[in-house]
Amino acid sequence: MLLTLAAFVVALGFLIVIHELGHYWVARRCGVRVLRFSVGFGKVIAQRVDRNGTEWALSAIPLGGYVRMLDSREGDLIAPADRAQAFDAQSVWRRIAIVAAGPMANLILASLIYAAMFMVGTRVPEPGQGVPLVAIQAVTPDGAAAAAGLQPGDRVLSVDGMEMPPPDQFVAIMSRSVDRAVPLRIERAGERLALSVTPRAGTDAEGRAAGRIGVQLGMSTRFVDVQYGPFESLAQGVARTGEVAWLSLRTLGRMVTGEASWRNLSGPVTIADYAGQTARIGLMAYVSFVALVSVSLGILNLLPIPVLDGGHLLYYLVEIIRGSPPPERWLEFGQRAGLGILVALMGVALFNDFARLLG
């Protein structure tokens, strides 16, 4: 329990700091004064002020963070000489850069983590092996497979002349080959063997006559350890981040359209559980988990939901199209609607979390 909690807090805290540092760094480059950089919400536990006047704070609730910039819309009293340092005084393009910098920092971090993993070495499917091999997971005693000499762990290279058969084709061939010797080539402990198995009369799941040999099948892919150079690792890291981001967006889109269940939505309890599990497995598994959450955090914040970074970017897009900021009533409605959406999503996520725990 303590390991799970520690792994979750460390991962979340680190990713929040990276996210907010993205906002902070670009804001400072744009000449915006940052009043507070806070890790967490609520009551400030510890703080210090740097020479630029920025308060660096650690707050009581470690489930987020924020960067507060000088902004007249927030009620800050701004002297005319300091007006140029206010966030709302910046051009729309600078505001876009500052807001987008947080999610982009998370995506860049994930790319760098994946790149480092590729440099250290990663396990990948063996080149040239084609589709994954059919693996014999279990053999029924006194069945046709046992009589033919098949053993758990055997990998099927070919069946009846078909190379690298997927499990459904393996089953189909055996089903229609009652009392006929079917030639097999298998791999066992690195050695290749030729066998033949004669399916016996039986029935399939729907009660129809079919050949049966008495095995349980699975997929088995051979893996090799591969290391990449710095530039190729970076390219691989960016590609992996793109794949994970696209998968996240696709899954979310399928949930919105009803093609996928909302039970796929996970909340902090499930994330904490995975953090603990990966930490127990080892450093590489935990680091990979951190990269995955970093991608998810970046993508989540880019969604066009008011109160998220993506919602602000949507406002700025409207401003570019209209030539002026959206009316204040639009912003107020958007904030309320966005907050309602987030509360609903969090409610579903927490329900799923506890359903998994209790189920």
Residue 189 token pair: 């402990």
- Helix, strand, coil percentages (3-state) for the chain, rounded to 5, are 55, 25, 25
199: tokens are 């399916």
For residue 193, the SS3 value is: strand
Q: At 98, which amino acid appears?
A: I
The radius of gyration of the chain's CA atoms, rounded to the nearest angstrom, is 28
In 3D, which of 160, 219, 215, 218 has the Cα closest to residue 184? 160
CB-CB contact of 152 with 189 (8 Å): no
What is the spatial distance between Cα 265 and Cα 299, in angstroms, rounded to a whole number? 14
Q: Which of 20, 126, 232, 328 is catalytic?
A: 20
Tokens, residue 118: 């590729």
- Residue 139, classified by CB atoms within 10 Å of its CB into exposed (0-12), middle (13-18) or buried (19+), is buried
Instruction: Say whether 163 is catalytic.
Output: no
Instruction: Kindly list the catalytic residues.
Output: 20
